[in-house]
Amino acid sequence: MKNLEIGKKYNIHSYKHDGSVHRSWDETILLESNKDFLVFANSKSRVVNSEGKVWYTKEPAILYYYKDKWFNIIGQLKEDGLCYYCNIATPTVLEGKYIKYIDYDLDLRVFPDGKYKILDESEYEYHRKLMNYPEEIDIIVHSELNDLIELVNNKQGPFNQGNVEKYYKKYLEIINKDGA
């Protein structure tokens, strides 16, 4: 993931196991790149799903994309507090201006009080059978979900609230400086 530029805009493409496009986001701004993960931010980003439905995200978000973990984490700065939406997905690949990963349906929603809920288990089972996920994928997906829950319970990484706030401040500095 060379030639990344802090403050530059990138697009996000999410795929399904069979290679079909799941969703795309029109832009997100790079805040940090290190050996383990990339951090981006966006607000009111345009989203298009596989059926062509278009909507815009409602609040600012700080997005963590990992290079070797099978999940990504979105810190959502909502009016009622910081929430997280976590996707179980392949490690992130960056190609040019595109952030890419395969979404494996299972999601984890973390609420401002730290409680969480696993989402889309039936969707995962449906796609696992439909697309013939190998057993190895099933094992990885469930193991990574457990690792993600451990991070939540221990308030580590993005789940340390100060972490998201630090990146949000950096995002505001970039967009106010650049008029992005």
Please identify which of the residues 23, 46, 109, 128 carries the catalytic annotation. Answer: 23
Query: For a pLDDT cut of 90, what percent of the chain falls above it?
Result: 90
Any long-range contacts for 32-36 (C-beta under 8 Å, 24+ apart)?
A: 32/6, 32/167, 32/170, 33/1, 33/4, 33/6, 35/67, 36/66, 36/67, 36/68
Identify whether 23 is a catalytic site residue.
Answer: yes
Residue type, 15: Y
* Cα dist from 144 to 88, 105, 150, whole Å: 7, 13, 10
Domains of the chain: 9-174 (2.40.380.10)
Tens-digit pLDDT profile for residues 86-121:
999 999 998 989 999 999 999 999 999 999 999 999
Listed in sequence order, the residues at least 6 apart from 112 whose beta carbon sits closer than 8 Å to its beta carbon are: 78, 80, 81, 82, 83
- pTM comes to 0.94
pLDDT exceeds cutoff 60 at 180: no
- Mean pLDDT of all residues in 72-87: 96
Residue 86 to residue 91: CA distance in whole angstroms: 13
pLDDT at site 3: 76
Torsion angle, alpha carbons of 127, 90, 3, 96, to 10: -10
Tens-digit pLDDT profile for residues 126-169:
999 999 999 999 999 999 999 999 999 999 999 997 999 999 99
Length of the chain, in residues: 180
- Identify the residue whose tokens are 């998201």: 164
- Mean pLDDT of all residues in 7-18: 96
Q: pLDDT band for position 4 (50/70/90)?
A: confident
Alpha helices in 14-134 (DSSP H): 121-130
Q: How many CB atoms lie within 10 A of CB 115?
A: 9
